A and B are shown apart, each in its own frame.
Chain A
Amino acid sequence: MTPQLFVFLVIAAIAVIAAVAMLLSRNTVYSALYLIVNFLAIAAIYLSLGAPFVALAQVTVYAGAIMVLFLFVIMMLGAEKLKEQEPLKWQRPLAIFLSLALVGEAVYALTSHIGQDFLTQPPTDTLADPKAIGALLFNQYSLPFEITSIILLVAAVGAVVLTRAGKKEEEKS
């Protein structure tokens, strides 16, 4: 048990437990917060895998922006406690079974094909620094980059339009 492995296991445990907690929590705000914990854990893993920029982006964008947006909406809509009767009774057991099957099969496939011999590398200083990522982004991936900016524009406009239209109807009625 090397220290790296130990650290990894701890962080992984945190991530999984936070995810499970997010699922099971009845309070929506708690779910959001558990998800933030999950994101932070994953950011830590990114760091250990030698992706500092991505890790920070994760914290800033995901945990910082997206989850905050979620929390705003949760506050706006009221974190109601919904009645938990299932209209489709067999959905729950089937979903659980299938997810377990998914995990089992995926793990089996991974271990049989990849095996434990393939090891990840320790993080280096120069491999994934922002300069290198920026070079890649603006040279090879410049088109997706520009398109992504358009996507963001569209999303912003769309969000405004959607909520505005609703408002107009409300004003009419």
Chain B
Amino acid sequence: MKFDSIFDLVPLVVFLPLLGLLINLLFGQKLGEKFTGITASLATGLTFVVSTLLAFGLNATPNPEPIKLFDWISLGSFNASWSFRVDTLSVEMMLVVSGVGTLIHVYSIGYMHSDVRHNGDPARYRRFFLFMNLFIAAMMILVCADNFLMMFVGWEGVGLCSYLLIGFWFEKGKDGIGNAEAAKKAFITNRIGDFGLLIAMFLIYWNFGSLDFGTVFAAAPTVAATHPTAMLLITLFMLLGVTGKSAQLPLSVWLPDAMAGPTPVSALIHAATMVTAGVYLMARSSAFYALVPTAQTAVMWVGAVTALFAATVAVAQNDIKKVLAYSTISQLGFMVAAVGMGATVAGMFHLVTHAFFKALLFLAAGSVIQGVERGLHHLKSDVEIDPQDMRNMGGLRKQMPLTFWVYLIGGLTLAGLAPLSGFFSKDEILVASSQGHSAVFVVLLIAAFFTAFYIGRQILMVFFGEPRSAAAAKATESPRVITVPLLILAALSVLGGLFNFPGWLVMDHWLARTLGEGEPLAFLWSVAEISFALALFGIGFSWLVYGRKSLPKDQPDPIQKGLGPVYNGMSHKWWVDEFYGLIILTPYKAIARFFAKPVDLGVIDGAGNSLAAATKSLGTWLRRFQNGYVRSYALWMLIGLVAILTYLVLR
């Protein structure tokens, strides 16, 4: 590797995590937990350093050439190489992934130390960090790729790591296979999305003759003019890929189940990075979407409906992580809707701020869960309670003050209260939708109201009121290795608004170098006021229902009386899983059973078996000719002789 420019450092972003993986693989078990954790965090940290160096490099040269490592596939006219693209969009993603990733790695050193002891298998500590480093490497491949094929490698890689990490405690969960089932569900649902992306890639190659980003996006307008249907299909299939990876409807069902993995996994993969890969893909392909208005409408509506749907479900969930999972789906819906509207910068801004505050919320939730587990451990009683169920918590702000404050900051950012970062990013999206897409604007507003309501509900249920279980009463604060990353993330959540503060519009200009100069969105005071008011209303309403008096334990949720059957629907996530089970799984299983028993066993095995049986019966029949009498053998010879003679005579 020659180092003439700073950009030649880019392969390191992939190789550093792989190096960390290798070191931990070979020496981790011997050198202990601390070594493993520090190596993994260091690898990710160094990746962050490299990313910042690249960012500084980009200040000088805005659009460097892609760095080619080597030729990968060269078949006839199809060429794909392993080359890294360093531009503002990819560096932005790199910074987010490696930065938040490093914080989560440090957090995991402490978290997993308790988690493996709580779940009874300390030897698995090393495995966790191996998979995490592998994930970072795969995610880096995804964001730095210069062609669709390499990006797909990263795409699949993060899907694989998600599977491995969701099923980390593979023998636990419902009936002993619950976690494995959740991992399988994630992988399979992702696969359906990957299928869409693959078809899109095939179509791209077919129509453009290449998969390189440079070639393809430059030729996009020409191809859109000559083959509009192809372009439409490409964008729609890509949308399918995005719904799979970014958990939009109809493929959002895997994300809530993915909470079966350890909390740092939920934070890193299912909040900050992997699920945003879909948004990144669409941002990268904005050249395509700009040319196909139909696809843009489709994307926008998929995002908007998902945002509302998930926000309603989050209101009625009782597991602390499930609320955050549905919240992630909802916020991803916001991002996808933004990109669909053409406001790519708004979508990417929300991606960055969401990475900060959602990771913060998840990590803080992990701190809460471990606090309750510590309380449970203190009690030393035989009572088994679910440490993740919010109905068992309450009043934790007295026991875990630091966690409470950071959680509050994260929650208010999510709700979109100014001047926290979430306000600015969500506001930009709302402004974009208010200009020309009024229906979507209304939907997103309703979703924003629900967002504020459910996060207020969560904070009030967990931290305020009286402890609803003895374990909660005995909860203690988490150690510094856990709380320090929380503090850093909280700071980022507060200050993140500066990344694209209206007027300065740093990110707009930054991304414009890659995505082209678009019209930056003006800051509309009207929209800002509406969204701020909605956030206040949401939080205020939640205080009315949950905050005025402490929620006693074992009582049903107060809004259940008010909403009745709607609450039922919300808490059962509108029965999506059951619906899929009915229309897809049951027929599929019936078909599979049909093909297994009658077709496979009956026809195919039967064909083989009947061949054997036929041979056997033929043999048995032929055996009768060997009766041992020499004279009958001679007779057969005579019969043959006469037959040949007859044939010759008659010919």
Contact = CB atoms under 8 A, between A and B. Distances in A.
Given A91-B635, A95-B635, A105 B629 contact: no
A63 B632 CA distance: 30
B645 A102 contact: yes
Given A109-B645, A109-B648, A102 B638 contact: yes
A18 B439 CA distance: 119
B624 to A, nearest CB: 12
A109 B645 CA distance: 9
A99 B629 contact: no
A105 B641 CA distance: 11
B: contact size bracket = 10 to 19
Interface string A80-124: 000000011001001100110110011011000000000000000
A64 to B, nearest CB: 28
A4 B646 CA distance: 33
B642 A105 contact: yes
Contacts of B629: 87-88
B631 A88 contact: yes
Nearest to B645: A105
Given A108-B649, A109-B648, A109-B649, A98 B642 contact: yes
B639 interface: yes
B2 to A, nearest CB: 84
Contacts of B631: 88, 91
Nearest to A106: B645
A105 B632 contact: no
Contacts of A101: 642, 646
A113 to B, nearest CB: 10
B635 A105 contact: no
Contact of A98 (B627, B632, B638, B648): B638
A88 B632 contact: yes
A105 B646 CA distance: 7
A162 B509 CA distance: 111
A90 B537 CA distance: 108
Contacts of B641: 102
Contacts of B638: 95, 98-99, 102
A87 to B, nearest CB: 7
Given A88-B631, A88-B632, A91-B632, A105 B639 contact: no
A109 B647 CA distance: 11
A139 to B, nearest CB: 35
A102 B649 contact: no
A9 B648 CA distance: 29
A90 to B, nearest CB: 10
A98 B636 CA distance: 11
B153 to A, nearest CB: 77
A102 B642 contact: yes
A170 B635 CA distance: 35
A98 B639 contact: yes
A99 B639 CA distance: 9
A102 B638 CA distance: 9
A131 to B, nearest CB: 39
Contacts of B645: 102, 105-106, 109
Contacts of B649: 105, 108-109
A106 B648 CA distance: 10
A94 B648 contact: no
B3 to A, nearest CB: 88
A40 to B, nearest CB: 27
A109 B639 CA distance: 18
A94 B637 CA distance: 13
A53 B191 CA distance: 96
Interface of A: 87-88, 91, 94-95, 98-99, 101-102, 105-106, 108-109
7 contacts: A87-B629, A88-B631, A91-B631, A98-B635, A99-B638, A101-B646, A109-B649
Interface of B: 627, 629, 631-632, 635, 638-639, 641-642, 645-646, 648-649
Given A94-B635, A98-B638, 11 more contacts: A88-B631, A91-B631, A91-B632, A95-B638, A98-B635, A102-B641, A102-B642, A105-B642, A105-B645, A105-B646, A106-B645
Top 9 closest A-B pairs, CB basis? A105-B645, A109-B649, A105-B649, A98-B642, A98-B638, A101-B642, A102-B642, A88-B632, A91-B635
